[in-house]
C-alpha cells in the first residue's frame, strides 16, 4: 500500500500539470501538417514538458483527460486546416504525440511511482523497527517493574497479616498492597497500548525545531550544551531522516546525562562529505559516577538508521569522553535485512500497489498506440478502397478507352489536388484524375497513377513516383 501521507515535496498542482500537457500535446497536429518547418524544434520542449509532468504531477486521470481532449479535438481540426489528407494528418499527429509527449510522460511517472514505493518501503521498515523497539520496552517494563511491583504486593500482604500490628498499621499495609496491585494493572494497560503494530502517533517535533527543543530542555535541566545546527539542512531532508536526527540527539543527551553527569556536551548537525546529513554528540569526561544503562538505546537507533540507509557509530574519545555519530542520506533509502523483510506482508502489499499504479499508467500510452494502429489501418483501408488502383489494373488500361467504359473499374479517385510526388505537365486541354498506386491496404508508397482524359477519352496514363 502506497501511503497517502507520503511527502509531496516537489509535486505540482494538478492545473499546472494539465496546462503543460495540453500545450505539449497540442504541437502534434501542426508538426504532422508542417513537419518540414522550424516547428520540429518544438519536439525538445514538448518531450521535456511531458517528462516533467509525469515526474511531478500526482493525478493520473487529469493527464488522461488532457491527452484525450487534445487528440480528439485534433481530428475535426485536421479537416479545417488546409491539406489533402485530414485522416492521415490526424494519424500522424497521434503518433507524434505518443512519441514526443506521452512516452516521456510515462517514463517520468514511472520514476515518480518507483520513488514513492522506495519512500513508502522505508517508512514501513522504519515503523516496524519502531514497533520492535516499543515491544522491547514493553518487555522491559513487564519483566522489571512488574516483577518489583509484584514483590511489593506480596510483601505488603505478608505484613498485613502480622499479629503485632495495630488496626491503623494493618490498614496502611492493606492500602500499600492495593496500590501495588493497581500499579501493576496500570502497567499491563500501558504494555497493551505499547504493543500494537499500527505505529504510534508522532508526538515529538521533527527537524531542526525538535533538536533545538531538546537542546533547550537539556540546558534548562542544568547541562552544559554547545550546539551548531544547520536548521535549513535538516528541514530539507526527508522527514524520516529528520526524525532520525532528533532521535540521535536525544539518545546522545540521555547518555551524557546518565553516564557523564556534569560533563560538557557538544552537538553538531551539518552536511556530510557525501552530501548527506551528519549528526555528532560528543560529551567530555566526567569526574562523577554515572548510572549504568540498559544497552537498548544505541542498538535500536543503529537498526533504525540502517533501515533508512544510514549508520550509527558510538566510540570513546581520547580524553575519556564519548561520541555518538550519525551519517544518513538526505532521502530515505530502503535497505533489506534478510528474508523476513522480503516476506513482510506490508512490503508485499506495497509492491503490489506500486505495480498496479505502474500498470495503470502504462494503459495510457498502450491505449493511444492501439487507437493509432487501428486508425492507421482504417485510413489505409479507406484510402485503398476509394483512391487506389492496383498495378495489374493499371497495366490493363489502354489509351483510347473512354471514361464511361473505365468507370466500373476505377475508384472515385482524387480529381482536384496535386499529388505530393513530382508531376510533369499534363497535355493541353485534358482533365486528369489521380489514383494511389497500391496493390493492397498494407502497400505503403507515395507513388500515384495519373490518368488524363480529353473529351472523355484517355490520352495519357502516367506513373508519378517520388524522386
Higher pLDDT, 5 or 235: 235
What are 449's strand-pairing partners? 435, 463
340: left (phi over 0), alpha (psi -120 to 50) or beta: alpha
- Which residue bears the cell 489509351? 399
Higher pLDDT, 185 or 216: 216
Using CB atoms within 10 A of its CB, is residue 228 exposed (0-12), middle (13-18) or buried (19+)? exposed
Residues 6+ apart with CB under 8 A from 103: 50, 365
| Total residues found in the chain within this entry | 467
Secondary structure (3-state) at 275: coil
298 — pLDDT class (breaks 50, 70, 90): confident
How many other β-carbons are positioned within 10 Å of the β-carbon of residue 358? Answer: 15
Global pTM? 0.50
> Can you give the pLDDT at residue 346?
67
Q: Tell me how far the alpha carbon of residue 457 is from its chain's centroid.
A: 69
Nearest to 25 by CA among 46, 42, 44: 46
> Can you give the pLDDT at residue 54?
85
How many other β-carbons are positioned within 10 Å of the β-carbon of residue 200? Answer: 12
The span from the CA of 225 to the CA of 252, in Å, is 11
Nearest to 194 by CA among 250, 240, 131: 131
Neighbour order of strands in the sheet with 431-437:
388-389, 431-437, 448-454, 457-464
Secondary structure (3-state) at 459: strand
- Which residue bears the cell 550544551? 225
460 — pLDDT class (breaks 50, 70, 90): very high
**How do 277-283 and 322-328 pair as beta strands?**
antiparallel
Residue 316 near residue 263 (C-beta atoms within 8 A): no
The per-residue pLDDT for range 171-202, each reduced to its tens digit, is 777 777 677 767 766 766 666 666 544 443 34
Amino acid at each position: 500500500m502506497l501511503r497517502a501521507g507520503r511527502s509531496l515535496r516537489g509535486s505540482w498542482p494538478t492545473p499546472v500539470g494539465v496546462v503543460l500537457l495540453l500545450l505539449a500535446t497540442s504541437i502534434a497536429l501542426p508538426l504532422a501538417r508542417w513537419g518540414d518547418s522550424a516547428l520540429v524544434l518544438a519536439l525538445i520542449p514538448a518531450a521535456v514538458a511531458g517528462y516533467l509532468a509525469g515526474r511531478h504531477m500526482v493525478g493520473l486521470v487529469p493527464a488522461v483527460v488532457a491527452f484525450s481532449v487534445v487528440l480528439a479535438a485534433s481530428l475535426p481540426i485536421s479537416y479545417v486546416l488546409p491539406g489533402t489528407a485530414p485522416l492521415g494528418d490526424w494519424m500522424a499527429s497521434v503518433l507524434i504525440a505518443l512519441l514526443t509527449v506521452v512516452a516521456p510522460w510515462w517514463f517520468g511517472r514511472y520514476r515518480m511511482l518507483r520513488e514513492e514505493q522506495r519512500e513508502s518501503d522505508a517508512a514501513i521498515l522504519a515503523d516496524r523497527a519502531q514497533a520492535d523497539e516499543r515491544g522491547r520496552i514493553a518487555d522491559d517494563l513487564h519483566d522489571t517493574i512488574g516483577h518489583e511491583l509484584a514483590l511489593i504486593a506480596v510483601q505488603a500482604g505478608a505484613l498485613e497479616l502480622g499479629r503485632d500490628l495495630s488496626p491503623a498499621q494493618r490498614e496502611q499495609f492493606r492500602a500499600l498492597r492495593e496500590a501495588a496491585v493497581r500499579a501493576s494493572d496500570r502497567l499491563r494497560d500501558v504494555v497493551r497500548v505499547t504493543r500494537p503494530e499500527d505505529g504510534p502517533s508522532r508526538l515529538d517535533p521533527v527537524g531542526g525545531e525538535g533538536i533545538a527543543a531538546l537542546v533547550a530542555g537539556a540546558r534548562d535541566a542544568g547541562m552544559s550544551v554547545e550546539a551548531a545546527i544547520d536548521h535549513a539542512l535538516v528541514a530539507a531532508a526527508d522527514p524520516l531522516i529528520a526524525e532520525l536526527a532528533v532521535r540521535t540527539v536525544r539518545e546522545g543527551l540521555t547518555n551524557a546525562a546518565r553516564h557523564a553527569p556534569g560533563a560538557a556536551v557538544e552537538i553538531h548537525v551539518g552536511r556530510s562529505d557525501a552530501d548527506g546529513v551528519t549528526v555528532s554528540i560528543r560529551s567530555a569526561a566526567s569526574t562523577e559516577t554515572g548510572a549504568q544503562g540498559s544497552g537498548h538505546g544505541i542498538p535500536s537507533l543503529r537498526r533504525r538508521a540502517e533501515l533508512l540507509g544510514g549508520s550509527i557509530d558510538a566510540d570513546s574519545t581520547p580524553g575519556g569522553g564519548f561520541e555518538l555519530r550519525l551519517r544518513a542520506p538526505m532521502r530515505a533509502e530502503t535497505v533489506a535485512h534478510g528474508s523476513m523483510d522480503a516476506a513482510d506482508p506490508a512490503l508485499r502489499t506495497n509492491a503490489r500497489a506500486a505495480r498496479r499504479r505502474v500498470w495503470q499508467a502504462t494503459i495510457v500510452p498502450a491505449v493511444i498506440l492501439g487507437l493509432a494502429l487501428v486508425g492507421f489501418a482504417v485510413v489505409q483501408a479507406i484510402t485503398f478502397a476509394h483512391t487506389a488502383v492496383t498495378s495489374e489494373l493499371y497495366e490493363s488500361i489502354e489509351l483510347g478507352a473512354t471514361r464511361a467504359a473505365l468507370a466500373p473499374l476505377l475508384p472515385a479517385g482524387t480529381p482536384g489536388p496535386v499529388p505530393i510526388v513530382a508531376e510533369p505537365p499534363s497535355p493541353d486541354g485534358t482533365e486528369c484524375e489521380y489514383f494511389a498506386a497500391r496493390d493492397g491496404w498494407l502497400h505503403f508508397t507515395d507513388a500515384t497513377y495519373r490518368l488524363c482524359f480529353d473529351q472523355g477519352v484517355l490520352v495519357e496514363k502516367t506513373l508519378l513516383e517520388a524522386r
